[in-house]
Structure 1
Amino acid sequence: MNELMVKLRFLIPTLPRAEKAVAQALLEKPELICLMTLAELARETDSSDASIIRFCRKMGYSGFSEMKQAFANALNDSSIMTVEEIHKEDSVLDNLQKVYKSNMQTLTDTILLADKEAYEEAVQVLLKAKSIHFFGTGDSAAVCQLFYFKFGRLGIPGSAQQDPVMQLMEASNLGPGDVAVIISYEGKSRTVLNAAKVADERGATIICITKMSKSPLLRLSDISLFIATSDVTVGKDIVARRVAEQMVIDALYLSVLVRSDKGYEKRLNSASKSFELNKIRGKGFK
């Protein structure tokens, strides 16, 4: 399966829009081609039968059937974990194991989607940033708060507002040299899209972290970093996506920390010493 994923990632930059949509869908969920007919895959990816056939030939196959068989063989032979749904009769330990498998598969799939050039560009932008602001709603706001705290320890100005009006206010104060990191799984949240539009109008650089599919957020972003999910949760509460988002931002954060010549490590050590004030020292401490 890894060989097919590498081939897909290699081809994506050279593909026209319709064929690129097919490649991106298969990167995120390679089982799609095994479960769908040619017409169904065309509808799912908003492409056409002809576009998919052209894409199959660029992948080195004579047509859809041959490529479908190649994906089926790869999936059967791969070491990809089987992600199972959560059921009422499951024990807590059963659920723990299922969540573990889901998270591991999500992280593995997200790495397969990683574009080296996009990540390097994102790090370079963050290294030069005058300020870094995080925008997200719902549970993605919690991820924003975590990394605002992390980057804040380095002495980098920024924000992670949760109120929609406050997000618009922060976005309106951005300008060239400032960075807006937008976290939105679907890329369709009205709140973050409004903030992204304002930040874009002000000349800020926008980095988005989202799933690989068409969305309004991608059109507003300068750099797009994609996540994948293999989730076990009931309904639409896709908890595994937060694991991927945290991995992506942790990688950016650590890269900025070790590459910067602005003394971030020294600032981090200084902040850590300050945090010691919040720790109890001895029985008599009040």
Structure 2
Amino acid sequence: MKNNIVKQIGSGYADLRRSEKQAADYILKHLTEASELSLDRLARSADVSQPTVMRMLKALGFAGYKDFRYRLVAELAKEREDSASHGNGTRQIMYGYTLNEKDALEEIPLSVTMTTERMLEETMKNFSGRIYRRAVEALTGARLIDIYGVENSEVTAMDLLTKLLYLGLPCRHFSDGYLQQIAAGRLTPDDVAVGISYSGESKDTVDAMKAAKKAGACTIVITNFRESTISRYADILICTSQEQIFYGNSIFSRSTQILIVDMIYMGIISSDYDHYVKELNKCEKVVFGKAYGQGVKHGKPDGRK
């Protein structure tokens, strides 16, 4: 698991300027060395100016360089202590591993978990707070929300559809690519189209987003690759890890996509908490009869003691 310093840098990384990202990248790759460097030496090592380092730290929520170094030293000391208490048996899993026929079956769960964890962290580095706010505001203000996705990404499209319906937002999703494109062409500037494609090259989804863009709708794209075809039609572009993983990426693509959906869902609730809690309560009453033990509430059937 990553220490708190790495998590803090990752959470604000996407909003940094290019030179500030260069300083952050140096720190992430040289944590131990950074803990021992003065401000001027770290700036020289990262090939940036001292003011750039200070702006970067301020943007990430550190009080200053002294605060950063103190907390980094403390985190590294804690890691060494934890490592000593658990012995030397911890295995480091490389990001982007490929399955080998010689891999032991027992090793796979840890490998998959570690790879997914790294992809989620990379997604946070690519997902800025500014883009997040724009996506939430666009969805909450839409007259109609169309959601497009095929094959593996349709799982994510259906998850997003379900969550938005829970919140009472007007949305729809068609499994058929032809219907997606027809629906996209009927959108208006008051509507939002969400296109989900890991590769960014799924023809049906790209064509639907192209039609939605032409119709004047606000377009939100969730993809892994910033330079993919679908990105050309995005008003709001949400990129995940930027790495190509596994055969056809079918294993890990959904992990980062579902993370984005969950963040959007929680962001919408937070944007007007009282209103959306009421919508969720309405939904709970509708689906209450679909569950076994429908008389059970708070652990007591039908209110009986």
Cα offsets for 1:143-196 (capped at 9, x unmatched): 101110111122212112121111112212211121111111222221111111
Shift of 1:8: 8.1
* Distance of 2:47 and 2:189 partners within structure 1: 44
* 1:242 alignment counterpart: 254
Alignment partners' CA distance in 2, 1:193 and 1:231? 19
Distance 1:190 1:279 in 2: 39
Secondary structure of 2:248's aligned partner: coil
Cα shift readout 1:11-47 (whole Å, capped 9, x = no counterpart): 34x9xxxxx9xx8xxx8xx99xxxxxxxxxxxxxxxx
2:123 to 92, 96, 110: 110
CA separation in 2, counterparts of 1:259 and 1:8?
22
CA contact (8 A) 2:167 2:279 kept: yes
The question of 1:119 aligning with 2:132 is answered yes
2:229 maps to 1:216:
yes
- Give 1:113 shift: 1.3
Partner Cα separation in structure 1 for residue 289 and residue 131 of structure 2: 40
Partner secondary structure for residue 90 of structure 1: coil
Match of 2:293 in 1: 281
Confirm or deny that 1:139 pairs with 2:126. Answer: no
Q: 1:92 to 1:159 in 2, by over 3 A?
A: farther
Which amino acid in the other structure matches residue 122 of structure 2?
A: D
Query: Bigger radius of gyration, 1 or 2?
Result: 2
TM-score (norm 1): 0.69
Other-structure match for 1:148: 161
Whether 1:263 aligns to 2:275 is: yes
Correspondence for 1:11 among 17, 32, 38: 17
Normalised by the length of structure 2, the TM-score is: 0.65
Q: Name the structure 1 match of 2:176.
A: 163
2-structure distance, mates of 1:260, 1:93: 46
- Distance, in Å, in 2 between the alignment partners of 1:130 and 1:257 is 18
Aligned residues: 229
1:60 equivalenced with 2:47 (yes/no): yes
Counterpart amino acid of 1:99? Answer: V
**2-side partners of 1:196 and 1:138: how far apart?**
16
Give the aligned partner of residue 263 of structure 2: 251
Structure 1: gaps spanning 5 or more residues: 15-19, 32-56, 62-76
Structure 1: which 4+ aligned runs deviate by more than 6 Å? 3-8
Distance verdict in 2 for CA 1:8–1:107, change over 3 Å = closer
**Residue 190 in structure 1 maps to residue 196 in structure 2:** no
Describe the SS at the equivalent of 2:16: helix
- In the alignment, residue 269 of structure 1 is paired with which amino acid? N
Determine what percentage of the aligned residue pairs are the same residue.
23
Measure, in 2, the Cα distance between the counterparts of 1:252 and 1:195: 22
Counterpart of 1:130? 143
Q: CA offset at residue 131 of structure 1?
A: 1.9
TM-aligned CA distance change 1:177 to 1:142, over 3 Å: same
Deviates more, 1:255-264 or 1:179-188: 255-264
| In structure 2, C-alpha distance between the alignment counterparts of 1:250 and 1:4, rounded to whole Å | 21
Cα deviation for residue 261 of structure 1 reads 6.7
If asked which structure has higher relative contact order (CA below 8 Å, sep 6+), I would say 1
Letter of the 1:242 partner, please give it: R
Pick one of 111, 120, 123 that aligns with 1:98: 111
Query: Structure 1: which amino acid aligns with 2:263?
Result: A
Partners of 2:148 and 2:196 within 8 A in 1? yes
